Amino acid sequence: MPSELNFTAAHELAQRIRSKQLSPVELMQACFDRIDETNEVLNAWTGIRDRDELLAEAREMESRIARGEDPGPLAGLPFGVKELEDLAGFPSTHASVPFRDHYPKGDSTQVQRLKAAGAIAIGKTNSPEFGYTAISKNLLFGVSRNPWNPEHTPGGSSGGSSAAVAGGQVPFCTGSDGGGSVRIPASWCGMPGLKVSFGRIAMGPFEMLGWNDTSVYGPMVRTVRDAALYVDCVIGTSETDPNALPHPGYSYVDALDRLPKNLRIAWSPDLGYANVEPDVRRGCEDGVRAFEDMGYKVDEIGHIFDDLGVLWGRISSTGTYAQIYEKLAEERDRFGHAFLTGALTAKKITWDKYGDAQRARARLVNQLADFFKKYDLLLTPTLPFDAIDARGNWPTEIDGKPLKSPLHVVPFTPPFNLSGHPAISVRSGFSDRDLPIGLQIVAGRHRDDLVLQAAYAFEQARPWNDRWPVEVAAMAV
């Protein structure tokens, strides 16, 4: 059985360590024990560092605190790094067999800053190949599973991270979101999942600069305060990331309880084009009522911006193809079939088609600019259904209606990667199958503070931190 430490919020664990109420060695061992208990089922990790070395780091942290040194705001917290991000000592495989021996020169900027804040990286967490899909399975590391029900996926692409955190293995992990890859697994694992504004958290160092401006790094955590603390530790400009924004000049943690009283809030259950399963819509509508109970008027609306269809895929596939094309001559058959099929669509995208996609993206940005003149927050479902099975099998219809576009299985998350707006998924109850449901909160450009404030107020109104998947069921043979 797990220790109470396994499901305690990261900010509370750090405070206990900083005040000498908790030994970082004890916390590290509790994480090891939970990993040993559950990871055969969850398969959240692609690799973990030597445990004796990790315990030695925890003991050194304990000694620093005893000497009166400042251990940092994340003092002694063990964490995992998503497979798609660089961690020194581990290959940056992109969860892809042809890249199995591809080692980075060092840590990503985000990992460097988390370590500088006192956290201890213990290993890397699973993802789909190059973050291609919203389920976490690949030919190199296998299938990750949802701790609420291992027959189902934890989501993707930050699926190993979400399984590790929701399953009580570590207090937090890194994630990244290029089309929903933080918010989707957060929704399906019942966690808050923050997609920061583009540029808010520095990425890199890079081997190839991208041109799509859609993907961001961010936290996989158990509470909104944990997310704010994480962001406080990693934001700020970086010489190796030309898109990194300057520090905003204040603490997101300090701003959490300052949600304005006169917000204009809109709720769109379908954005005018998506279908949603009835139990998911009911769960999200209950979340919307939480804002009404706080005294806010919420307007239900439909269409806000045009349906982008598969244009997100058209834009994103070009960058993926550019990363892999040198490997195709000799290792083409080592890529996952579905992944490779998607990546190779880039070869069919001529510059005129790419231009059409970017013009559609410009219309999206302009339509959202008009929307955020009228409203401060937008609420939507995070996803139209609860977690699918762990190996895939996406639905071909939703609420009895056939899909009009392949991207309509994830209709609510990619638009805000294309636009760059901040968004967060928060747990808004459970489906008829007793799996978590997510409500998405979106704010205007660079209003990460407002997204966090709204999510924090929602968390107080609809608390979720008292229910986690303590019992992880064994898989049927």
Residues forming beta bridges with residue 474, ordered by sequence position: none
Per the CB < 8 A criterion, the answer to whether 72 and 120 are in contact is no
| Catalytic (active-site) positions | 82, 157, 181
Mean pLDDT value across the chain? 97
SS3 content of the chain, % helix, strand, coil (to 5): 40, 15, 45
The three-class DSSP label of residue 409 is helix
pTM of the model as a whole: 0.98
Give the β-pairing of 265-267 and 377-381: parallel
CA–CA distance, 294 with 454 (Å, rounded to integer): 11
Beta partners for residue 193, in sequence order? 220, 425
CATH number at 4-311+341-461: 3.90.1300.10
How many other C-beta atoms can be found within 10 angstroms of the C-beta atom of residue 254? 11
pLDDT value at position 476? 57
Cα–Cα distance, 77 to 58 (Å, whole number) = 9
Residue numbers in the chain where pLDDT is lower than 50? 477
Q: Cα–Cα distance between 152 and 393 in angstroms, integer?
A: 11
